[in-house]
A and B are shown apart, each in its own frame.
Chain A
Amino acid sequence: MSKYTEDDLKIELETKEYEYGFYTDIASDTFPVGLNEDIVRAISHRKEEPLWMMHWRIEAFRAWEKMVEPEWANVHYQKPDFQAISYYSAPLSKAKYESLDEVDPELLETFKKLGISIDEQKMLSGVAMDIVVDSVSVATTFKKTLGEKGIIFCSISEAIREYPELVQKYLGSVVPQKDNFYAALNSAVFSDGSFCYIPKGVRCPMELSTYFRINQAGTGQFERTLVIADEGSYVSYLEGCTAPSRDENQLHAAVVELIAMDDAEIKYSTVQNWYPGNKEGKGGVFNFVTKRGLCEKNAKISWTQVETGSAVTWKYPSCILKGDNSVGEFYSIAVTNNFQQADTGTKMIHIGKNTKSTIISKGISAGKSHNSYRGLVKVGPNADNARNFSQCDSLLMGNNCSANTFPYIESKNPSAKIEHEATTSKIGEDQVFYCNQRGIPTEKAIALIVNGFSKDVLNKLPMEFAVEAQKLLEISLEGSVG
C-alpha cells in the first residue's frame, strides 16, 4: 500500500521532536535555588540597581509572600515549587558587544538554529533587536539610528541605570506590584527585559523586536517590559519567543506594561512558541503573563498574539481606555495540541468617553488539549458611547479536545454598545478531501484551512512576523486532524 494514512501521519508527528529542542552549553552564572528577601536583594545588587529599585522589589516580595496562587483559570497543572527555582541566570560573558564577532559563537549557533540570523535581520529587515538570552541582553543593534530620533530602546536593567526618572515614574504604573500573584513575583525578582521610550511626536521608523529565550535548566524567566509612547508618537513592538525542551516545567512569569499618552499609538505583537511539552503532556513551559496597556486621550493600543507554545498559558493582554476617544484592540490566535492548556483572552476597561474596543479571538484546539477564551469588557459610569465588538471563533480538530468561551460583560453606562459573536467549527473530512482532490496533501490542507480561519488575525501582524506565525501554525498542528 502506497497510501499514506492519517494514522501514519500521526505517528510520524508524535515522534517528531520539538523543532527548537536543543540546549546551548554556555557557561552560566546561576544563583542557588530558592527565594527569600536576601535573594531579592542579591538580584538587585548583582544588577547594580539604585536603592529605590531594591526597595520596590522588596515591597513586591513582601506582598507576594502574603498572596495565594490563583486557581480560577480553566487549567490544571502541578503548581511550581517556588523554592526549587533559581531566580537569576546570566551568560558569564557579560560585556556588551560592539560587533557580532565578539559574541559567544555557541550563542550565535543557537540563534542560527532558531532561524534568527542577526546579520540578516540587520541587513534585510531593518529590525533593531534587543536579544534577551537567559535574562541578560547580549546584543543590541540599530541603536544609533534610533538614538538620532531620541528613541530609547535598551534592556530594562540599563534603563534603570541610565533613565531612572522614566523608569521610576512608570514602572508599576499600569501593573502595580501587588496586581496579582505572578505580577508580584515578577516585580520582586525580574531579571531583565526591554525598555522603550518614544519621544513626543516621533514615529518609530522600524519595528522594534526582542527575542526572548529561556536557556538554562531550572531557571524561571521573569521578564519585565516597559514601553512608553509619549504624546503623538507611534511604535510597533515585536516579541517572539522560543525555548529549548526540558523535562521539568519551566516557569515564565513576565510583566509587560504599555503607556500610550495622548494621541500615541502602540502596536504590540507576540509570537509565542515555547516548548509545549511532549505528546504525553510531560514538560513544557508554564506561561503566566500579565500584559496591560494604558491609553490616554485619543491613544490606541493593539495587542496581537499568536500563541502556539507552552504547556500551560495564562495570559490576558488588556487595555485600560482611560482617555476619551481612546481605542483598544486585541487580536489573538491560540493553538493547543496534545495536552496543552490555554486560558487566554483580554480585558477592555472603558473609562473615558467614546472609547472603542475590538476583540478578535481565534482558538484552535487539537489532540487532548483545552483552549479557553476568557475576556472581560467593562464599561464604567462615565464612559458615554463606549463601543465594543468581540468575536470569538473556535476550531476543533478531532474529538478529544475542548474549546470554551468565557465572556464577561459589565456595563455601568446605558449608552454603551457591546456586541459579542461566537462560533465553533470543526475541520471537516469533506474539506480535507476537497483539498486532496486538488493535489494538496492532508497536512498542507490543514495548514491552509487553519491559516484561512486565522486570517483576520494574521493580517494584523507585521509582515516578517506573519510569515513566521504561519510556519508556526503549521508546525504546531501537523497531524492533528481526527
Chain B
Amino acid sequence: MLSIKNLHASIGDKEILKGINLEVKAGEIHAIMGPNGAGKSTLSAVIAGNDTYEVTKGEILLENEDISELAPEERAHKGVFLSFQYPVEIPGVSVTNFMRTAINETRKANGQPEMPANEMLKVIREKSELLEIDRKFLSRSLNEGFSGGEKKRNEIFQMAMLEPKLAILDETDSGLDIDALRIVANGVNKLKSDKNAIIVITHYQRLLDYIVPDFVHVLYNGKIVKSGGKELAYELEEKGYDWIKQEQEA
C-alpha cells in the first residue's frame, strides 16, 4: 500500500525528516509515536503533499506509484486521507456541501460521473449512523464553533465518506475526553478493512487501547528509531521517551 524510502524533508533550511523508511500493507494499522518535535506531524503533512515542506530526497510510493511530486488533491484522488490535528474552519460551507464537493471532485478526477443526490443522501445517512453523528450537525458550517470532540468526529466522518485507501490520523486523540475518544476509535475500527491501511500518529498509548495497532514505530529526531508490535507502546508508556533519547544519545 504505502512504501516510504529514505524520505528527507525540510522546511526552509531546517531538515526535519532525515531518512524515513516505512512499509505499510493493506489491512494493517501502524502507530507512529514519539516526543514533541520528532517530526510526526511533518511526516503526515509530507505524505499528504503540504508544500510548506520540501522533499529533498527519497520517495513515497502509493501502490507502487511515486506520489511525492503530485499535488495534494491528486494524492487525495488516489486515496490518501489525512485526519488533521487542527481541522480548519470554513464559515458558511456546511459539512454536507463540503463533502459533496470533495466526493464529486474526486469522482471527476477518476473519470466517474457525479454521485446522484439520492445516493449521496443515503451514504450520508449510513455513515452518520455508523459514527453516531446527529445529522443536524451536518448542516452546520464546517468546523465553525465545533468543540474539539466534534471536530475530530467530523474528520472521521469525512474519512468514512471518502473511503480512502490510506488514512493518516494525526493526533486524533488530542483534545478528546474519554467518551469522545471511544466514539472516534469505534468509528475508525468500523472503517478498517483488509483493503485499506491506517497510520495512527499519537503521543500517548491511550488511543492504542481502542485502535489496536499491528505495528508501532518510534519517531525521534526525524528518523524511525525503533519498531515493534503493540507491546512497544506499553513499554514506551512505562519508560517514557527519555528511554529512547538516552538510547539514541548513548
Chain A interface (Cβ < 8 Å from any Cβ of B): 1-4, 428-431, 433-442, 444, 448-449, 451-456
Among candidates B52, B76, B141, B142, residue contacting A439 with C-beta atoms closer than 8 Å? B76
**B81-124 contacts to A (CB < 8 Å):** 81-82, 84, 87-93, 97-98, 101-103, 105-106, 109
Q: Are A444 and B71 in touch, CB under 8 angstroms?
A: no
Distance A113 CA – B49 CA, assembled complex (angstroms): 40
Q: Are A437 and B92 in touch, CB under 8 angstroms?
A: no
Set of chain A residues within 8 Å of B141, measured between Cβ atoms = 452
- Nearest opposing residue in chain B for A428, CB measure: B88
Q: Can you list 28 A-B pairs with a CB-CB distance of less than 8 A?
A: A1-B69, A3-B70, A4-B71, A433-B72, A434-B84, A436-B72, A436-B73, A437-B72, A437-B76, A437-B80, A439-B76, A439-B77, A439-B102, A439-B106, A439-B109, A440-B102, A440-B105, A441-B73, A448-B90, A448-B98, A448-B101, A451-B92, A452-B93, A452-B141, A452-B142, A453-B91, A454-B92, A455-B92
Q: Are A452 and B92 in touch, CB under 8 angstroms?
A: yes
A474–chain B nearest beta-carbon distance, Å: 12
| Given known A4-B71, A448-B93, contact A438–B88 (CB-CB < 8 A) | no
The 3 closest A-B pairs by CB, nearest first: A452-B92, A452-B93, A455-B92
Set of chain A residues within 8 Å of B98, measured between Cβ atoms = 438, 448
- Nearest opposing residue in chain A for B161, CB measure: A438
- Is B202 located at the chain interface by the 8 A CB criterion? no
B3–chain A nearest beta-carbon distance, Å: 20
Among candidates B77, B92, B101, residue contacting A453 with C-beta atoms closer than 8 Å? B92
- Is B162 located at the chain interface by the 8 A CB criterion? yes
Q: Are A433 and B50 in touch, CB under 8 angstroms?
A: yes
- Nearest opposing residue in chain A for B77, CB measure: A439
- Is B54 located at the chain interface by the 8 A CB criterion? no
**B26-80 contacts to A (CB < 8 Å):** 48-50, 52, 69-74, 76-77, 80
Distance A449 CA – B142 CA, assembled complex (angstroms): 11
Set of chain B residues within 8 Å of A442, measured between Cβ atoms = 73
| Given known A4-B71, A453-B92, contact A438–B76 (CB-CB < 8 A) | yes
A331–chain B nearest beta-carbon distance, Å: 14
| Centre residue among B74, B77, B87 by max chain A CB count within 10 A | B74
- Is B158 located at the chain interface by the 8 A CB criterion? yes
Set of chain B residues within 8 Å of A441, measured between Cβ atoms = 71, 73, 105
Set of chain A residues within 8 Å of B72, measured between Cβ atoms = 433, 436-437
Distance A4 CA – B71 CA, assembled complex (angstroms): 7
- Nearest opposing residue in chain A for B142, CB measure: A452
| Centre residue among B49, B92, B103, B142 by max chain A CB count within 10 A | B92
Set of chain B residues within 8 Å of A444, measured between Cβ atoms = 101, 105
Set of chain A residues within 8 Å of B92, measured between Cβ atoms = 451-456
Distance A377 CA – B90 CA, assembled complex (angstroms): 31
Set of chain A residues within 8 Å of B109, measured between Cβ atoms = 439
Chain B interface (Cβ < 8 Å from any Cβ of A): 48-50, 52, 69-74, 76-77, 80-82, 84, 87-93, 97-98, 101-103, 105-106, 109, 141-142, 158, 162
Distance A266 CA – B205 CA, assembled complex (angstroms): 63
Among candidates B69, B87, B142, residue contacting A2 with C-beta atoms closer than 8 Å? B69
B173–chain A nearest beta-carbon distance, Å: 20
Set of chain B residues within 8 Å of A2, measured between Cβ atoms = 69-71, 74
Set of chain B residues within 8 Å of A452, measured between Cβ atoms = 90-93, 141-142
Among candidates B71, B74, B158, residue contacting A438 with C-beta atoms closer than 8 Å? B158
Q: Are B71 and A3 in touch, CB under 8 angstroms?
A: yes
- Nearest opposing residue in chain A for B76, CB measure: A439
| Given known A438-B158, A448-B98, A452-B141, contact A3–B69 (CB-CB < 8 A) | yes
A455–chain B nearest beta-carbon distance, Å: 4
Set of chain A residues within 8 Å of B142, measured between Cβ atoms = 452
A234–chain B nearest beta-carbon distance, Å: 28
Among candidates A4, A428, A430, A449, residue contacting B93 with C-beta atoms closer than 8 Å? A449
Q: Are A431 and B105 in touch, CB under 8 angstroms?
A: no
New A-B pairs, 16, CB < 8 Å, besides A429-B52, A434-B84, A438-B98 = A2-B69, A2-B71, A3-B70, A4-B71, A431-B90, A435-B90, A437-B80, A438-B76, A438-B158, A439-B109, A439-B162, A440-B101, A441-B71, A452-B90, A452-B91, A455-B92
Distance A434 CA – B72 CA, assembled complex (angstroms): 9
Distance A4 CA – B70 CA, assembled complex (angstroms): 9
Q: Are B93 and A451 in touch, CB under 8 angstroms?
A: yes
Distance A433 CA – B51 CA, assembled complex (angstroms): 9
B196–chain A nearest beta-carbon distance, Å: 16
B249–chain A nearest beta-carbon distance, Å: 35
Distance A198 CA – B87 CA, assembled complex (angstroms): 51
Distance A456 CA – B92 CA, assembled complex (angstroms): 8
B49–chain A nearest beta-carbon distance, Å: 7
Among candidates A434, A436, A449, residue contacting B49 with C-beta atoms closer than 8 Å? A436
Distance A442 CA – B73 CA, assembled complex (angstroms): 8
Set of chain A residues within 8 Å of B101, measured between Cβ atoms = 440, 444, 448
A448–chain B nearest beta-carbon distance, Å: 6
A480–chain B nearest beta-carbon distance, Å: 17
Distance A57 CA – B48 CA, assembled complex (angstroms): 66
B59–chain A nearest beta-carbon distance, Å: 15
Distance A437 CA – B47 CA, assembled complex (angstroms): 10
A306–chain B nearest beta-carbon distance, Å: 15
Q: Are A438 and B102 in touch, CB under 8 angstroms?
A: yes
Set of chain A residues within 8 Å of B81, measured between Cβ atoms = 437
- Nearest opposing residue in chain B for A444, CB measure: B105
Set of chain B residues within 8 Å of A440, measured between Cβ atoms = 73, 101-102, 105
Distance A190 CA – B93 CA, assembled complex (angstroms): 42
Distance A2 CA – B68 CA, assembled complex (angstroms): 10
Set of chain B residues within 8 Å of A3, measured between Cβ atoms = 69-71
Set of chain B residues within 8 Å of A430, measured between Cβ atoms = 88
A394–chain B nearest beta-carbon distance, Å: 13
Set of chain B residues within 8 Å of A439, measured between Cβ atoms = 73, 76-77, 102-103, 105-106, 109, 162
| Centre residue among A431, A436, A455 by max chain B CB count within 10 A | A436
Q: Are A436 and B93 in touch, CB under 8 angstroms?
A: no
Q: Are B70 and A434 in touch, CB under 8 angstroms?
A: no
B83–chain A nearest beta-carbon distance, Å: 10
Distance A441 CA – B80 CA, assembled complex (angstroms): 15
- Nearest opposing residue in chain A for B168, CB measure: A437
Q: Are B76 and A434 in touch, CB under 8 angstroms?
A: no
Distance A434 CA – B88 CA, assembled complex (angstroms): 7
A423–chain B nearest beta-carbon distance, Å: 10
B146–chain A nearest beta-carbon distance, Å: 14
